[in-house]
Every structure is written in structure tokens, then in C-alpha cells.
Amino acid sequence: MLTAAEYEERYGPNPRSVIFLLVSAVFVGVFLWPGPDIPILVRVLGLALFGGGSVIMLLLMFSRKTALRVDSSGITLGGSPPRYRATTAFVPWRDVVAVVLWRQRMAPGARMDYVGVQRKKGLPPLPGPGTGRLGQRTASVIIPHIPGEVTVASRPVNGWSLDPASLESSVKRVAPHVSVIDAR
């Protein structure tokens, strides 16, 4: 049970994931429908992409694993679904300079929000893909408005919902020395 000072979000259904599942179901239906003249290779690839993506999203949505947690000991950034344990990161407050909310713009009209942690200099990378120096440099090129060390210490708000006001309130209660930066 959470105290008033804690904040936690778990993976679960949200509007974005439900829309993803609906769109994927339409594509799976198109690839399974015997009528359209679609080459077999395109059908197989389409089913693998949209069907496989749907299965992963369903597993994520109903896993109810922790996506983000703020408590008196630090902040937990939940891992990616296929490798949850290996990519989940806990950062104690003594290592945190700021919690950063940021947005990556993708295709026209599409975006992905992230929660990141700006940590003190010189700490080892957090677990997860692309967290080394090369990952930081690549992130700095792709997302120039956010420091590379923050992008690689971030998690997408995907398969769960974020309440920025509650997050900020919790951080202020449990770690008043840590700022919350909204760079969206």
C-alpha cells in the first residue's frame, strides 16, 4: 500500500495501448482475409509485426508490473517488457539531480512522452539497451533538446499513464532537493 508521499504507476490499459491494439487487429484481419491479393511474404511479415506487437502489448498491459515508482528511498524506472528484470533501474535520491519529463516527436502528429532521471556525473550507466557512451552520443543527435545522459536514463510512457502533478508532488515530499523539469 502506498503512503501519501509515494507515487506509483503500473503497466495497464490506457487509451494509447487500446488504440494500438485496435489498429493492429485491423491489420491482422487484413492479412488473414483470403480476399485481397497480398503476396504471402507480405502477409507473413505483416502478421509477425502486428500480431507479435499485439501479443507483446497485451502481455505488457496485463502484467501490472511497476512502470514508475517514487518513494522515500529513490525512483524506480520499470524495464521493457521482454527483459523487465534486466532493464529495471532503481536510482537512490542521493544520485539524482532532477527528474525530467520530455517528449520525442516522431512522425507528423505522433509523439512519445518519457520520464528520465538526471543523475550526478561519473555514475555507471543504468541497466537497459543503449545506455553507454555511444548510446548517449546517438541520443544527443536524435533528441538534441535533452542531454544524452538523461535520454539513456529514461523510460517511455507507453503501456501506462503518467500523472505529472502527482509525480511532482511526490518528488517534492520525499526528495525536496530534486527538481522536476517538464521539458515537453
Predicted pLDDT at 16:
83
Predicted pLDDT at 132:
65
CA atoms within 13 A on the CB side of 161: 9
Q: What is the pTM of this model?
A: 0.81
Predicted pLDDT at 106:
81
Rg (CA), the chain: 19
Predicted pLDDT at 130:
66
- Give the integer Cα–Cα distance in Å for 38 and 15: 31
Predicted pLDDT at 75:
98
Predicted pLDDT at 66:
94
121 CB neighbour count, 10 Å cutoff: 7
Predicted pLDDT at 148:
83
Predicted pLDDT at 8:
96
- Give the integer Cα–Cα distance in Å for 24 and 51: 7
Q: Are 69 and 6 in contact (CB under 8 A)?
A: yes
Segments of the chain scoring below 70 in pLDDT: 1, 129-133, 135-136
